[in-house]
Amino acid sequence: MPNQINITAVRNDTPGTNEVVHLNNAGSSLMPKPVIDATIGHLQLEAMVGGYEAADRTEEKIEGTYRAIGKLIGAAPDEIAVVENATRAFDMAFYAIPFQPGDRILTSVAEYASNVISYYQVAKKTGAVVEVVPNDESGQLSVEALRDMIDDRVKLIALSHIPTNGGLVQPVAEIGKVAKEAGVLFLLDACQSVGQMPVDVGEIGCDMLSATSRKFLRGPRGVGFLYVRKDLAQQLEPPLLDLQAATWTSLDGYEIRPDTRRFENWEANIAGKIGMGVAADYAMEIGIEAGWARIQQLADGLRQRIDAIPGCQVHDLGATRCGIVSFAVEGHDPQDIMERMAEHRINVRTSTVFSTRFDMTARGINHLVRASVHYYNTEEELDQTAEVLARMAKTNA
């Protein structure tokens, strides 16, 4: 069993818990004091001595971020690139893959809009084709269907570990086994999973993984990271290069650096980079297993509370469910629910068909409320949320 989390200490470390009931951790979590101090501290140093000089003085902290992220996901520091956000991380890997006419890109029903748009853009340019793997009876990607779809034209399996609009956790280790057996590249969007649950690239078997700082990792906004397996990184040419990714070696030549930092660019949010590294260290100090166990417990409790309210319905799928809880209240627009909750200082968000069109179209859903818990949330906060929802449900307008 994972060690228990000292919730009092964690909440004392999280100033935002005194201001709001924050159930928007799938959007952006509340940062703990060590992350706040590290991020603001570097900005203050930049203000006092200059941006370049501040980076020189904190070089060890910057390098520490690569070590921390690597340790967090079971990778080597030189297999990590730090970039502006997870979408840029995902795209830098995806657009580096040399697709040819007839190549197949396999993805999931629950895939996120930004990823799908990139698939279709590349397919339009190269003649590759995008295919959606059906779900199994639980609503997660069917591993058997995936295995049946594999042939020598499949170039890439790419999908989101946890979708944006529900509690589903995809069976990524099983997917990784299929990819490895077939010799197919596997790109994983781990935006919602890193910081929420154990993520080990070796156990998953993915070749590339993208993630963000601001969600369950509890880091600052405007920074994310990319993992690319070391030997693969040397085979992929990034779609964009600058003097960080490559060296200008002669009047008409350049050399791309050999490690995964070839996917970076020179200008960076140094304060955010340092803050993300501190967030990774903080997550490991709290305990990823312990955090995951508490998140699941809280999310299950929230689902039970919502389901017990007449007129409320949870819409989560999957054999394994995470901290994202999606639901609807009969007679109420999700946007209105979000705004009404905000009046009670409870943060939730909404999810629309525009973000996960395959999934929500198949289920006949256009708009949902999304509540997402973290380990620093409490049972009392869930009770408060359910009370507000119950009052809204009674006014079935």
> What CATH number did the domain enclosing 59 receive?
3.40.640.10
Token pair of 293, please?
Answer: 């166990």
pLDDT the model gives residue 397: 46
Residue 306, in any domain of the structure: yes
Per-residue b/e over 353-381, b at no fewer than 16 CB within 10 Å? bebbebbbeebebebbbbbbbbbbbeeeb
Together in a domain, 171 and 304: no
Q: Are residues 204 and 257 located together in one domain of the fold?
A: yes
Residue 73: exposure state from Cβ atoms within 10 A (0-12, 13-18, ≥19): buried
CB distance 28 to 216 below 8 Å = no
The three-state (H, E, C) secondary structure of 145-197, written as one string = HHHHHCCCCEEEEEEECCCCCCCECCCHHHHHHHHHHHCCEEEEECCCCECCE
pTM recorded for the entire structure: 0.96
Residue 367 covered by a domain: yes
Q: Three-state DSSP class for 83?
A: strand
Q: Which of 285, 302, 333 is the last residue of a domain?
A: 285
Residue 1 falls within a domain, yes or no?
Answer: no
Residue in the structure block whose two tokens are 């689902």 = 303
295 shares a domain with 159: no
Do 309 and 280 belong to one domain?
Answer: no
Domain final position from 285, 314, 346: 285
- Regarding whether 298 and 230 lie in a shared domain, the answer is no
Question: Is 158 part of a structural domain of the chain?
Answer: yes
Last residue of a domain, one of 239, 264, 285: 285
Q: Do residues 60 and 149 both lie within one domain? A: yes
350 with 235, same domain? no
* 2: in domain: no
Overall number of domains in the chain: 2
Cα–Cα dist 265/256, whole Å: 12
Residue 296 and residue 161 share a domain: no
255 and 305 inside one domain: no
The whole-number pLDDT of residue 2 equals 53
SS (H, E, C) 229-256: CHHHHCCCCCCCCCCCCEEEEECCEEEE
226 and 89 housed in the same domain: yes
Q: Which residues contact 12 (CB under 8 A, 6 or more apart)?
A: none
Residue 259 lies in a domain: yes
- Is 117 inside a domain boundary? yes
Q: Does 61 share its domain with 106? A: yes
Q: Are residues 276 and 339 in the same domain?
A: no
> What six digits make up the tokens of 152?
């020598």
The Cα 243–Cα 40 span in angstroms is 28
Which residues form the domain of 377? 7-28+287-394
Low-confidence ranges of the chain (pLDDT < 70): 1-3, 396-397
